[in-house]
């Protein structure tokens, strides 16, 4: 599972939720790092699943282009909701 990178709102410590905040420069760099890792390890997929949020779809597009699978079928759904953790003083244990 690959999640979207940092958003402009995450950077400001704002809760994004379903708001369609764009990826920040750091978020775009995070997506590029993820696709490089997938490419280096030789991952290939049969289908891709994403939420309806633009930032998540953009991350997926970047990754699929890098691993040369941009023609892969993509399923978009409202059911894929991410865990929001970009709040100060919230540990990984508290998130889980």
Residues that constitute the known binding site for substrate: 3-10, 55
- The values of phi and psi at residue 75, to 5°, are -100, 125
CB 55 within 8 A of CB 36: no
- Tokens standing for residue 59: 């991350």
Which residues are documented as binding site? 3-10, 55
The residues pairing with 50 across neighbouring beta strands, listed in sequence order, are 76
The residues pairing with 39 across neighbouring beta strands, listed in sequence order, are none
């Amino acid at each position: 599972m690959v999640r979207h990178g940092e958003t402009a709102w995450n950077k400001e410590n704002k809760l994004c939720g379903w708001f369609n905040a764009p990826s920040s420069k750091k978020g775009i760099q995070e997506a590029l790092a993820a696709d490089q890792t997938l490419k280096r390890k030789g991952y290939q997929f049969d289908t891709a699943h994403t939420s309806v949020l633009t930032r998540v779809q953009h991350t997926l597009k970047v990754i699929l282009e890098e691993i040369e699978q941009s023609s892969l079928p993509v399923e978009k759904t409202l059911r894929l909701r991410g865990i929001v953790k970009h709040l100060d003083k919230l540990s990984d244990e508290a998130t889980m």
